[in-house]
Amino acid sequence: MSAATPTPVQPNPLGGESYRLTLPNTAAAPRIARDFLASLLGVSRHTGLVDDARICVTELVTNAHCHTRTPLIGVHVAVNRKRGTVAVSDDGGPLGAAFGVLGAPTAEPEQEHGRGLLLVESLALAWGTGSGGDRDPGRTVVWFTLGRPELTT
């Protein structure tokens, strides 16, 4: 079962709205997250970000699905008139478990896997990783922000 709520999770500093989607960790999760995000960006008049957002969220949700045993994958989207930020979270344990060493992702040309974060890095204005903090220390969060550089603050 997946659930989407229009309830703001935390205030968006530049105004706007926040949405959450909670997905079971199944093979369908990346497609559901991708469709949810594309629909949300279309409604919020960010149609120019849809293609890049679909690629980035697919990569992050696929990583959570393939590399963790988390029962639920969270997708948090914050949009305002200038940009969109997406955070994907899971209960996968320490950051190193699913995403390797922090910093710039690397992949050798002959490798079949390991290019997802390179795609995110190349498409996003910014991206990063974190944890659930003191409130939820076992949680892994990977986020990205999309928008045109000249329009962001």
Residue 60 lies in a domain: yes
Put the strands of the sheet holding 136-146 in their side by side order.
3-5, 17-24, 72-79, 84-90, 136-146, 126-132
pLDDT digits 0-9 by tens, 58-99: 999 999 999 998 999 999 999 988 899 999 999 875 444 444
pLDDT at 93: 54
Cα separation, 105 vs 119, whole angstroms: 10
pLDDT of residue 12: 52
Structure tokens, 142? 């990977």
* Average pLDDT of the segment spanning 114-138: 86
In a domain, 28, yes or no: yes
Q: 130 pLDDT exceeds 70?
A: yes
Beta carbons within 10 angstroms of residue 16's beta carbon: 18
* Count of Cβ atoms closer than 10 Å to residue 52 Cβ: 19
66: Cβ–Cβ under 8 A, 6 or more apart, which residues? none
In a domain, residue 15? The reply is yes
- Average model confidence (pLDDT) across the chain: 80
Helices 50-67 & 29-43 angle (0-180, nearest 10): 150
| pLDDT for the residue 11 | 46
Residue 8 has pLDDT above 50, yes or no: no
In the chain, how many domains are there? 1
| Tokens describing residue 33 | 């997250």
Instruction: Give this prediction's pTM.
Output: 0.78
Residue 29 — pLDDT band, cuts 50, 70, 90? very high
Which H helix or E strand runs over 143?
strand 136-146
- In the block, residue with structure tokens 């990583």: 63
Whether residue 107 is contained in a domain is answered as no
Token pair in block for residue 62: 């696929």
Domain span at residue 35?
3-96+114-151
> 146 with 125: CB under 8 angstroms?
yes
Q: Which domain CATH number covers 51? A: 3.30.565.10
User: Mean pLDDT, to the nearest integer, of 103-120?
Assistant: 65
Q: Are 100 and 63 in contact (CB under 8 A)?
A: no
In this prediction, residues 41-55 reach a mean pLDDT of 93
Domain for residue 109, yes or no? no
Q: Are 101 and 87 spatial neighbours (Cβ–Cβ below 8 Å)?
A: no
